Amino acid sequence: MRDFSTDHLALALNTASLGHNLDGHGAGWSPERVIDACAARRFGSIVFWRREVGARANEIGERVRSAGLSVAGLCRTPFLVGSEAIDRTAVLDEARASIDMAAGLGATVLTIVVGGVHPGTKGTAESLKIVAERVADLALYAADRNVKLALEPLNPVYAGNRSCLTTVRDAVDICEAVDAPNLGIAVDVYHVWWDCDLDTQLQRAGKDRILGYHLCDWLADTRDVLLDRGMMGDGVADLKTIRASVAGTGYTGPCEVEIFSANNWWKRDPGEVLDVMVERFHALC
Ligand code: ZN
């Protein structure tokens, strides 16, 4: 297993950690300023959100690489099912545009957050079937553009309106059903820390299907399931054990810090946030 105690080349910043994916949050740094701050601290890579990139995918991608980093990923597709995804054509068109943006950035992976329970259905089974059908369509388009798609199961608390996909098990089921070489999963501590079956399901997924590993922590007394994530070490997730399971598959990709924290980390100076990430990564991850 890689030794992160002194080396953080594997460390990636997800810019959501600086509040950059929501209006009115964060310090408002430009992508260029974020890139320079990450380069100065020798992060290995950055993951952006579509709203920051806009029409500048090529330019931002080049800027990242000229600073000595890589673009590890792009967040994210539109929801593929749920109340925002009734119009199949419109959803798939927007998803294809997000694939084009990832390709323009030179991003290795585009994350898929699948959306909640589809209108007219109950439970998650029917919605997951629609997800599989739509992902199969997108995987072909993405493969032609050298983009990998990572299904990210979210914590079950979001099943109603953000992600009917809630377990690594169900994500691997979709991967097996779709059977596309560029389709895999993203493993986010916030969403999987509670799952006693995690190790088994990660082994089942295997190295080639694990396309991302996202770090943060689950605060024991979390106040807001969307915007109160903890920094690594501040919560109850067993980071070492989860990482051992991920590494046990052979995963050697980036470790991406993704912390939505409206009332704590987003209020701090981004330079301080980045410094704490590096320290915690060395000590705890
Ligand atoms: Zn994530």
Kindly report, residue by residue over 66-93, the tens digit of the pLDDT.
999 999 999 999 999 999 999 999 999 9
pTM of this structure = 0.97
CA 157 from chain centre, in angstroms, equals 17
CA 275, 277, 280, 285 dihedral sign is negative
Sort strands 148-151 and 210-215 into parallel, antiparallel or unpaired. unpaired
Mean pLDDT throughout 50-55?
A: 96
CA of 133 to the centre of ligand 1 (A): 23
CA of 189 to the centre of ligand 1 (A): 8
Kindly report, residue by residue over 171-215, the tens digit of the pLDDT.
999 999 999 999 999 999 999 999 999 999 999 999 999 999 999
CA-to-CA distance for 215 and 230, rounded, in angstroms? 10
CA of 187 to the centre of ligand 1 (A): 7
- Give pLDDT, residue 22: 86
CA of 152 to the centre of ligand 1 (A): 7
CA-to-CA distance for 238 and 24, rounded, in angstroms? 32
CA of 115 to the centre of ligand 1 (A): 14
Structure confidence at residue 228 as a pLDDT band (50, 70, 90): very high
CA of 214 to the centre of ligand 1 (A): 5
CA-to-CA distance for 271 and 267, rounded, in angstroms? 12
Residue type (1 letter), 177: A
Per the CB < 8 A criterion, the answer to whether 117 and 160 are in contact is: yes
Provide CB contacts within 8 A for 27, sequence distance 6+. Answer: 18, 19, 269, 270
Per CATH, which fold does 11-284 belong to?
TIM Barrel (3.20.20)
CA of 257 to the centre of ligand 1 (A): 8
CA-to-CA distance for 207 and 198, rounded, in angstroms? 14
CA of 186 to the centre of ligand 1 (A): 7
CA 74, 148, 232, 11 dihedral sign is negative
CA of 218 to the centre of ligand 1 (A): 13
- Give pLDDT, residue 141: 98
Per the CB < 8 A criterion, the answer to whether 87 and 127 are in contact is: no
CA of 87 to the centre of ligand 1 (A): 26
CA of 17 to the centre of ligand 1 (A): 11
Kindly report, residue by residue over 133-153, the tens digit of the pLDDT.
999 999 999 999 999 999 999
CA-to-CA distance for 248 and 227, rounded, in angstroms? 30
Which string of b and e fits 170-194 if b means at least 16 CB within 10 Å?
Answer: bbbbbbebbebebbbbbbbbbbbbe
CA of 258 to the centre of ligand 1 (A): 6
CA of 213 to the centre of ligand 1 (A): 8
What is the DSSP-derived secondary structure letter of residue 79? Answer: P
Sort strands 255-257 and 11-14 into parallel, antiparallel or unpaired. parallel
CA of 77 to the centre of ligand 1 (A): 13
Residue type (1 letter), 248: G
CA of 107 to the centre of ligand 1 (A): 16
Residue extents of the structural domains in the chain? 11-284
Structure confidence at residue 20 as a pLDDT band (50, 70, 90): confident
CA of 1 to the centre of ligand 1 (A): 22
- Is 21 a residue whose pLDDT tops 90? no
